[in-house]
Amino acid sequence: MTRTATSRWFDDGDGDVRRGGCGVGEPLATWNEGVAKETILDFVERACADGSGGVPAADRVAVFDNDGTLWCEKPMPIQLDFILRRLAEMAASDPELRGRQPWKAAHEKDYAWLTNTLAEHYAGNDSNVRIFAGGVLAAFANITVEDFEDQSEAFLRKTQHPLLGRGYLECAYAPMVELLGHLAANGFSNYIASGGGRDFMRPITEEVYGVPRQRVIGSSTALTYVPNAQGGSIVRQAAADYLDDGPEKPVRIWTRTGRRPILAAGNSNGDIEMLDFTQHLEAPTLRLLVLHDDPEREYDYTAGAERALDRARQSGWTVVSMKDDWATVF
């Protein structure tokens, strides 16, 4: 069967009318021929079939992790670079902070402490994560959400990846962006469900992924409303609202969408519950796990994804090899 990509305007269910699609010709052109590509195309075809075998457009919900799934997360997640720069600024102006974590690590560029903290988190130990989170919350406290967004967007637009020689906005994975477009063209509602900050990602997701800001689910700090003569402001607090990772992901997905997704894509142990939640007995279902195994074009690592890879083998999830399944990466 020959499949051709479609591109059309459609109502995205959020009051927007958007154009989806991945261009003309064969869909998923940035994917190599193989099991992963064929599985995705067959899934979309079954989901969009007429009659009882298909899925109504309103229920075609797809959710994607961001870091390591939609864009590069090494040598550190992009938002972590943003945070560390702010912590280093704080330590430079306040010597007292230089002896306290995480300002100490940021000031001394002690990336080993930060790497170990993330590894401990994925292994179930959050003692240092809580210390780090305290610094993160303090770093951007008591500013308006608009100010935070301006800082985030400026950073994302002007900062280069330290090793890849490209801007951060050019670090999105071309095959995943193409997949998002193919799904949108076939009536899917794509959501980002990330452990990263919701308000950090929102300024650029429409441009980079074609995902509007109202479809971004991510971690959040506590917010409060402060009245003023300009209609009031939403101000960030030095307290967490929630961390959108692990078992929190399905909760936040349900809270935002009111539906169980039929497609989920992730790359780490923190995505297991989201992938588990994407399961239907009587509808097509697809779980994708991105495997970073391409040291020539990106990175080669499984740290933080060991349990996810085991579950993929046990549960029949589709493992996407960056090396074998992607014709291009960026």
**What is the model's pLDDT at position 20?**
37
Rounded CA gap, 204 and 211, in Å?
9
In degrees and rounded to multiples of 5, residue 3 shows phi and psi of -105, 140
The residue ranges of DSSP E strands in the chain, in sequence order, are 7-11, 17-21, 61-64, 189-197, 216-226, 233-242, 263-266, 286-293, 300-301, 318-321
Q: Among 102-106, 124-128, 134-138, whose mean pLDDT is lowest?
A: 124-128
Cut 0.85: pTM above it? yes
Query: What six digits make up the tokens of 70?
Result: 């939609």
pLDDT value at 2 more than 50: no
Angle at 215 between CA 213 and CA 221, to 5 degrees: 75
Are 262 and 284 in contact, with CB atoms under 8 Å apart? Answer: yes
- The pLDDT of 93-116, averaged and rounded, is 92
**What is the model's pLDDT at position 52?**
83
Rounded CA gap, 263 and 241, in Å?
26
**What is the model's pLDDT at position 114?**
83
Give the tens place of pLDDT for each residue, 155-214: 999 999 999 999 999 999 999 999 999 999 999 999 999 999 999 999 999 999 999 999
Q: Is the peptide bond before 212 cis (omega within 30 degrees of 0)?
A: no
At residue 174, the 3 state secondary structure works out as helix
At residue 142, the 3 state secondary structure works out as coil
Give the tens place of pLDDT for each residue, 243-253: 999 999 999 99
Specify the higher pLDDT residue, 4 or 219. Answer: 219
Rounded CA gap, 322 and 308, in Å?
16
Rounded CA gap, 207 and 141, in Å?
27
Work out the mean pLDDT of the chain and round it to a whole number: 91
pLDDT band at residue 6 under the 50/70/90 scheme:
very low
- The pLDDT of 287-307, averaged and rounded, is 97
**What is the model's pLDDT at position 206?**
98
- The pLDDT of 2-14, averaged and rounded, is 39
pLDDT band at residue 25 under the 50/70/90 scheme:
low
Rounded CA gap, 128 and 134, in Å?
10
CA of residue 114 relative to chain centroid, distance: 20
Q: Which residue has the tokens 């307290």?
A: 239
Domain boundaries, the chain: 7-71+168-228+242-325, 78-140
Q: Domain 7-71+168-228+242-325's class?
A: alpha beta
Query: What six digits make up the tokens of 176?
Result: 């995943």
- The pLDDT of 142-159, averaged and rounded, is 98
